[in-house]
Every structure is written in C-alpha cells, then in structure tokens.
Amino acid sequence: MPVNSAKVLLLRGVVGLTFQGAWNSLGVELKKRTQVSLNQPPDQANVHTGNDDSISVLHELAKSLGGQVRKKVVHLYGGTTLTRQLRALYRGHKIELLANEALILADVEASYGRFELLQINPISTRFQLKPARTTNTSSAKHVILTFDGNLSGPQSELYESGVLGWFLDVVDPHEGEEINVSQRLVRVYLQRPNLNRVMATIHAVIDLMPHDERAPAEFATFPDVLRPLVPLLAKWAIDDDDERSRKLKRCAQSTRQKLVDAVVPLLPAIDDFLNSFGANPPEEACALGSLAQAALEAQSLLSNAAEAGETT
C-alpha cells in the first residue's frame, strides 16, 4: 500500500528508557488478554453513527464522567473552532473534552513515559517522514513512520507488545480523525461520535496504553498527609454540584460515613494546601477541593438522616 494512501502512524522518538521494563511486562500481560477484557462492554468499541450532535453527546458524557459542560472557544490549527468544554477526573485520569456540533476532541491523561509525539492519521502534512513498520488492525493497515525510518528501543517495545494494534482496533480512526500521543496525554479527534465510542476511546487509553499507575506524577506535589486521599479522587472529585449530590444521595450511609471519616479530619490540611497556590491552584489541587466538598455534603446527609432516625 502506498504511504500516502494509508493511515499514517508517526512515532517521533522517545526520551529516556526508564519505562522500557514496564512496557515489557505490559506486553506479556496484554498478550494474555483480549479486547473484551477492557473496562467496557465489548459492543462499545468501533461504533460510528455519523449522525450524533457532538455537543449533545458531550452533555451525556458529563453524566457518565462527573463534570459540567461549559462554553469555551478554542481555535484549532486549520480553522476548526470548538465551543464547548468538559473536564473531569475519571479513574484517576484527567479528562478534557472539547466539542462543536460535528467534532469531539478527547484529551486523556496517561503518564506512561516520555514521547515527543506519536501521531496517526495526521490532518496536516508538515513532516518529512520515512516508513519504519506497518501494523494491521481489523479494519485497516497502518504505516508506522519515523523521521529516520527506524524505531528506537522503546518504540520497538511498544510496537512488538501489540499495544498499538489493540488501541487502534478500539478507536478505529477514520479519515480526518487524528490521534496524537505526547508526553502526558493521548489526544483523539472523533467526528460525530456517540457516547459509547468516546467512552471506549477513554477506556482504551487507560487500559491499553502503558503507564505507571503506582506513582502518578500529577500528585507529586501533594504533602504526605494528603496522599491517602488520592484513591478517593477518581470517585468523589466531582466538580458538578448536581452530579455530586445525585451520587451522594444514591450511595449507602456506610459509604458516606467512610468518605467523611477519611476526608473531614484533613480539611484544614486541604485548605492550607489550596491556599498555598493563591488564586490559581492547579487542577489536581482543585480536585482535592471537590473531594472536600463531597465529604461536607456527605456529612450533612448523615446529620439529616440521624435527625430523621435513619440507620441504613
């Protein structure tokens, strides 16, 4: 297949080899798995309806991810303008979705190593690339290109593990749907996707792309006293007031009590940490603020239940 007629995968070099061992172990582990083992129903992948209003889909995603859709104007290279934003913390990963009526741009955090750039199906042709490898998926043949036509050691590990092929099988990018992988995130452009396809893409980044979950870099600034709260962020750091309230009201009294017991004693430490950033705290610090708000609301619900004589 000629290079200019294939979907193009660009691997622009990797800085450092610290994650090579993790990729080796991941490759061995993933060869024992199938796509059905992803954290999603198997029929959610590879769904293209072509008729979905992407802004409406974004509002549906807010219910699943726990966030709030806001107006935000973003001008992309090439002239496309996006008008809505959804940000959330999902399964310990920061998610940002930008949309207009026909497109959703999904940014999913993945701390898996140091890529300068990984790209598939590029919209622009700014780089002079040479073919290095090809990979076949269920629906297409993808040509892997680098600047010198060779794969580095870490690039070879990623290729040989099968991760790239599995990831592309799930996302199934069409023409005009670009994928970029940089040092800290995977960005996917999806044309009129439905909710299931966006969620399948998010899960594919989290479950397939290699990253070290044991020491997420985004929480490195947390003081030691607040580190025990990190596992709670994925579930309870919800910045949308309505969604947070609904989730708290649906859960059991014992769940609310555990949240209160873990977070409320640390509220002064959370306040000190947030105040240390002044008027512009980073997103991971804001997530702690959302967690604190959830704990206070849970405490209020417990008090109301006690006054009403509830024991469940």
pTM, to two decimals:
0.55
Residue 266 near residue 296, CB atoms below 8 Å: no
Give percent of the chain above pLDDT 90: 31
Indicate whether 21 pLDDT > 90. Answer: no
Contact between 210 and 26 under an 8 Å Cβ cutoff? The reply is yes
Most confident of the following: 17-21, 78-82, 177-181: 78-82
Per-residue pLDDT tens digits for 156-173:
776 777 777 888 888 988
Question: Which residues, other chains included, contact 13 with Cβ-Cβ below 8 Å and sequence gap of 6+?
Answer: 115, 116, 146, 147, 152, 155
Which pLDDT score, from 0 to 100, does residue 46 have? 38
What is the residue-averaged pLDDT of the chain? 75
Length of the chain, please?
A: 312
Q: Are 73 and 90 in contact (CB under 8 A)?
A: no
Q: How far apart are CA 30 and CA 28, in angstroms?
A: 6
How confident is the model over 166-214, as pLDDT tens digits?
888 889 888 788 887 766 788 899 999 999 999 999 998 888 876 654 4
- Cα Dmax for the chain: 73
Whether the pLDDT of residue 153 is over 70: the answer is: no
Q: What is the bridge-based pairing of β-strands 103-109 and 185-191?
A: antiparallel
Q: Which of 129-139 are b and which e, b meaning 16 or more Cβ less than 10 Å from the residue's Cβ?
A: beebbeeebee
Is residue 216 scored above 70 in pLDDT?
no
Q: Which residues contact 10 (CB under 8 A, 6 or more apart)?
A: 117, 118, 119, 120, 122, 127, 129, 144, 145, 146
Q: What confidence score (pLDDT) does residue 310 get? A: 57
34-38, 224-228, 241-245: the lowest-pLDDT one = 34-38
| Cα 194 to chain centroid, rounded | 17
Q: Where are the beta strands (DSSP E) in the chain?
A: 7-11, 69-75, 81-90, 93-99, 103-109, 118-120, 130-136, 141-146, 179-181, 185-191
Q: Quick one: pLDDT band at residue 272, thresholds 50, 70, 90? A: very high
Q: How does pLDDT run across 253-266, given as a tens digit for each residue?
A: 988 999 999 999 99
Q: What is the percent of the chain with per-residue pLDDT over 70, rounded to a whole number?
A: 71
Other beta carbons within 10 angstroms of residue 243's beta carbon come to 18
Give yes or no for a contact between 148 and 130, defined as CB atoms under 8 angstroms apart.
yes
Domain ranges within the chain, ordered by starting residue:
3-207, 217-308
